[in-house]
Amino acid sequence: MKTILLLICMGSLYNQIQCQDFQESDWSGKNLTKIPKSTSTNITKLNLSQNNIILDAEDQKTLMRYENLTGLDLSQNNILELTDSYFKGLSKIEVLILRNNHITSIGVMSLVGLENLRILDLSINRITYLPVNIHIPSLQLQTFYLQDNNLSTLDIKEALKDLKTPLHITLSGNPWNCDCSLIGLSIWLNNNTVILENDNTTMCATPKNMINYTITVMNTAPADVLSCVGSSDIPSTTPSISISDNSTAPLNGTNTTSSKGNSWTFLVGVIVVGLVTSLLILVAVKFPRWYDFILSYNHHRLKEEEPYMFEEEFNVDFDMGTNDKSRDDDTVVVFEQTHSFVPEEDGFIEDKYIDENDITELN
């Protein structure tokens, strides 16, 4: 009899604990500016939607008291940013709803601590950039809502590469810039481990020649439309062909043969230039007379100078034996002489001149 009563008591106690584990707290639409402090630590679901909560430091301390939370709804509040380690200590949360806020900034470590997160809703915000190296600790993430934000590019494949389950992601309603940088996202979305929801309405916004494409098929756009020559993210549109070292195979309808590299020709050229240079240096050192042979042709013929005239005035006494002229008359005699320079056979010019002593003898 005692055993039966004990089993009944244990069963009722288990039911009470089980009821407490699924306790919910609904504070939606209460115009709250702060997260209310709980008197119970057994609350698993907390609804704080349609309030004016901004998630400051005081709210973070209050959230730490809800240590058994598995679901947190903070939609339609005034949250502006998610700071690093804000949800640290809430490792049991599986559903986090932050939709319809004013979030513009998300820290790299803002999701640290959410190790069992399965559903993350960041839709209808003002997010323009999601960090490439954002830390998502949960390997159980199944649903990720990012629609209706200001995202033009996205690269989180590395952050989600270790997921154990297929990921459902929603990206519609964003102004996607479908240039070369978005090809990586397009390839990732075509992976069999990623499922893009509303893919038919997830369209390119820019550039104009891509607005008719969805982001999942932009990587298959014609080359003249996408213009991503040289991009490493562009997938090869030609079939993969295995070619052995000594065989040839057709590629794109043409025959191609393996060609040898040109490195050996460069090496031979360097060796030849080095040998010729060394030979010239050796000749210059061993046979110095070749300098004289070259320098002997460095003589330059001097230019022939123009003939010049010079005048010299001096007094000469003439005894003419006439009465009409006086011996004291001064007579001016002008001598004109033209010098012509005749070059010698060696190219040098001899300058001939009249000695002044010859002129004085005339006096």
Q: CA-CA distance, 252 to 246, in Å (whole number)?
A: 20
* 5 within a domain of the structure (yes/no): no
Global confidence as pTM: 0.59
pLDDT averaged per 10 residues, the chain (length 363): 45 45 84 90 94 94 92 97 92 96 95 95 96 92 97 92 92 93 90 91 91 85 62 42 36 41 76 87 71 57 53 48 49 52 51 56 54
273 in Cβ contact with 304 (< 8 Å):
no
Nearest partner of 158 among 180, 133, 183, 182, judged by Cα:
133
Q: CA-CA distance, 291 to 26, in Å (whole number)?
A: 105
* 274 within a domain of the structure (yes/no): no
* 334 within a domain of the structure (yes/no): no
Q: How many domains does the chain have?
A: 1
Confidence at residue 59, expressed as pLDDT on a 0 to 100 scale: 94
* 174 within a domain of the structure (yes/no): yes
* 199 within a domain of the structure (yes/no): yes
Q: CA-CA distance, 144 to 154, in Å (whole number)?
A: 13
Confidence at residue 185, expressed as pLDDT on a 0 to 100 scale: 92
349 in Cβ contact with 302 (< 8 Å):
yes
Q: CA-CA distance, 228 to 223, in Å (whole number)?
A: 7
Q: CA-CA distance, 84 to 112, in Å (whole number)?
A: 7
Task: Report residue 128 CA to chain centroid gap.
Answer: 20
* 234 within a domain of the structure (yes/no): no
Domain CATH for 144: 3.80.10.10
Confidence at residue 40, expressed as pLDDT on a 0 to 100 scale: 82
* 222 within a domain of the structure (yes/no): yes
Confidence at residue 149, expressed as pLDDT on a 0 to 100 scale: 97
Confidence at residue 83, expressed as pLDDT on a 0 to 100 scale: 93
* 107 within a domain of the structure (yes/no): yes
- Identify the domain containing residue 46 by its residue range: 19-226
Nearest partner of 38 among 80, 72, 75, 1, judged by Cα:
72
Q: CA-CA distance, 247 to 257, in Å (whole number)?
A: 8
